[in-house]
Amino acid sequence: MKKKYSIPIILISIVIIISIYYVFFKENDIEIQLDRSKMIFNQTIRNIEIERFPIILQLDFDRLLKDFKTVSLSKEWSTEIEFDITHPPFFDLKNIYLISFDKIAVYDKNSMQNIWMKQLDHNIRTFSLIDGNNILITDINGTILTLNRSTGESGWSHDYRMTFIHEYDFSLKPIQITYNEDKRLLTGILIVPLDKEINILDLLSGQTLFTLDFEDYIYHVSEYDPIENVIYVAYGNRLGKLLLQKK
């Protein structure tokens, strides 16, 4: 009787040991390989040349793109800001983060109610939202430090005294919005900010699809928020929320 159950018990034990090995010692190799394959596939699809689309898909490409080109930007709201915004606006699921030299001001995305402000010892050079509900900052002296997103409380810091060739580089740059970020799009588009206007360009052809004019100079534009389909724009002394619409 014991012999009858010994083989299944041994097999189950082997399966358990292998599972534990893959979970704790293989560093999720299977998941990493799957993610890598997905990235390669997405990059391959995104980089197919426009001229080859009709051949590969055997479709009338002009007719297919007709509806895609009806995109626009509209101002959902704008609000006056009492300080100079020196970096592009940052955001997460709940908040907007505005930087003014050595100060951070955090607002609720929906109500624009101020949540907290933090004055640092030196001007901020880089700003990132990282895991663990934290903010990662480097200042112009080369110090790296973290802050809690919800409260602004200081976390750890390291004084590396790094030397930067360029202190800042926040010039207006085109922003790509991909199909993965907004499934309403057939192919990617570019948000191109200029002095007093923002243009939407077809990424593949360069055709201008829409232009939104501003009464003041545009200083900074955020990355695309795929949750709310918006970008945030600092212009004049105001912050605006622009909705990307697909008709």
> Looking at residue 179, what is its pLDDT?
87
Decide which of 11 and 73 is more confident.
73
Give the CB-side neighbour count of residue 90, counting CA atoms within 13 A.
19
> Rounded mean pLDDT of 72-83?
94
Instruction: Identify the weakest region by mean pLDDT among 106-115, 158-167, 198-207.
Output: 158-167
pLDDT band at 21 (very low <50, low <70, confident <90, very high): low
pLDDT at 53 over 60: no
Tokens of 244: 């990307």
Contacts of 45 (CB under 8 A, 6+ apart): none
Which of 87, 109, 113 shows the shortest CA–CA distance to 243?
109
> Rounded mean pLDDT of 165-188?
81
Mean of per-residue pLDDT scores for the chain:
83
Domain 94-159 architecture: Beta Barrel (2.40)
Please give the full DSSP string across 137-172, using - where no structure is assigned.
EEETT-EEEEEETTT--EEEEEE-----SSS-----
Share of the chain above pLDDT 70, in %: 72
> Rounded mean pLDDT of 10-34?
64
pLDDT at 67 over 60: no
Rounded Cα distance between 107 and 101, Å, is 17
Torsion of CA 196, 197, 203, 207, to 10 degrees: -120
Q: What does the domain layout of the chain look like in residue ranges?
A: 2-47, 66-75+171-246, 94-159
Rounded Cα distance between 93 and 160, Å, is 31
> Rounded mean pLDDT of 8-17?
71
Rounded Cα distance between 24 and 96, Å, is 37
